[in-house]
Structure 1
Amino acid sequence: MTAPGSTARRVLPRVLLLNGTVGAGKTTTADAIGALLRERGLPHAVVDLDALRRVWPAPSDDRFNGALLARNLAAVARNAWDAGADRLVLAGVAETVEDRSALEEAVAETIVTCRLVVTASELRRRLLVRHGPGAERDWHLDRAEELDAVLDGADVHDHVVSVDGDDRGRVATAVLDAVGWGPPVR
């Protein structure tokens, strides 16, 4: 424990999870954060968790392929650390404390989470632009509402950043500032 008034540096988690409902901008923000970290010369990796779980069909008892995600993330994180990454930016969803713990176990690090929130009207607009008419669009619209409600009641977020009306660079900077990964003090 650090004594009051101590000048010891606070150790920040090396892993950031951008959490939020479908359409909130997790992947877009992760890519923008990666660009900012690159500009600052900070070794990192950006991982879209959906890509690590995308196998069909999912087991009937694991709707979103969480077990596969954990195995794949463990390998990707290990390889990123071995390749010299100092930070890991994850874009995905943790609905529960157990989900967050599984991700922490997979990366072998403590995770700081930042939920990206967007108004219902903006979320709907984004999903209508992203998905043409049909079953996939309808699924995403339904899932966005369902997941937003789940995340409202979840105790997994360290920080929350609104993404309405802001460009990706501003959102990325706001997230980095919120989690303590902003520019170093010189």
Structure 2
Amino acid sequence: MPQSGYTIFLNGGYGVGKSSTLEHVGDLLANAGRPFSLMDVDWFHRSWPPADQDNALIEANNIAAVWKSYRSVGPRQLVMCGVISTAADRERYEAAVESPLRMVRLTANADITRKRLRGRYSPSQRSALEWHLERCDEIAARLDAADLDELVIDTGNLGPHEVAERTLRHFGLLDNSPTTN
């Protein structure tokens, strides 16, 4: 089990700052002397051809194996980032890490997410950029409709460090008082 008894999951569509925020969460937890492990779930299903739809089962197995390894060195706060838009997806991740997920959704307006996505991909990755641009509005709408998150942070005018601070304060991991947003 994680040190806190739950896993923090940074949820959100493409280009909202999940991966950048995850790195800053790690920095802040390390500076506070709190044991942690970080997982960007995108890296746990990146293989081709897919073993199943979207490599979901492979992803869950990989996450479970890595989490088991992290836990073997002692209690720690697990923080993950990715996209969860259904209760079934949430349950699959909870089973993989054997703890409840407490989800924080990161959002940004469409212009900001598109600008961030365009900055992420090189000209040789044009098809990846187009794939993400075509789906970003639909993913954002699905996440809004699913309403699975206990906290929502608009990252449009915030840097990843500030988003990480707000997230950790919400859970009382930077100080003893959660914030209200």
Partner of 1:139: 131
- The one-letter code sitting in structure 2 at the alignment partner of 1:160 is V
Change (3 A) 1:86 1:42: same
CA contact (8 A) 1:23 1:127 kept: yes
Say whether 1:103 aligns with 2:86: no
Corresponding residue SS for 1:65? helix
Corresponding residue SS for 1:116? strand
Q: Size of the alignment, in residue pairs? A: 173
Corresponding residue SS for 1:102? helix
Q: Which structure's CA Rg is the greater one?
A: 1
Identical residues among aligned pairs (%): 34
Partner of 1:93: 83
Partner of 1:7: none
CA contact (8 A) 2:12 2:18 kept: yes
| Candidates 85, 104, 117, aligned match of 1:114 | 104
- The one-letter code sitting in structure 2 at the alignment partner of 1:128 is R
Separation in 2 of the partners of 1:179 and 1:121? 30
Separation in 1 of the partners of 2:5 and 2:147? 18
- The one-letter code sitting in structure 2 at the alignment partner of 1:103 is Y
- What is the CA deviation profile of residues 93-149 of structure 1, one whole-angstrom value per residue up to 9, with x for unaligned ones? 111011111111110111110000011110011011112452211101012112111
- The one-letter code sitting in structure 2 at the alignment partner of 1:126 is R
Separation in 2 of the partners of 1:72 and 1:180? 29
Say whether 1:178 aligns with 2:140: no
TM-score, reference length from structure 2:
0.89
| Candidates 1, 9, 15, aligned match of 1:23 | 15
Separation in 1 of the partners of 2:176 and 2:70? 23
Partner of 1:66: 56
Partner of 1:52: 44
- What is the CA deviation profile of residues 62-121 of structure 1, one whole-angstrom value per residue up to 9, with x for unaligned ones? 1x2111111011111111111124200101111101111111111011111000001111
Partner of 1:167: 159
Change (3 A) 1:153 1:42: same
Runs (4+) of structure 1 exceeding 6 A deviation are none
Stretches of structure 2 that go unaligned for 5 or more consecutive residues are: none
Corresponding residue SS for 2:141? helix
Change (3 A) 1:98 1:180: farther
Partner of 1:33: 25
- The one-letter code sitting in structure 2 at the alignment partner of 1:121 is D
Corresponding residue SS for 2:79? strand
Separation in 2 of the partners of 1:57 and 1:152? 31
- The one-letter code sitting in structure 2 at the alignment partner of 1:96 is T
| Candidates 139, 144, 156, aligned match of 1:152 | 144
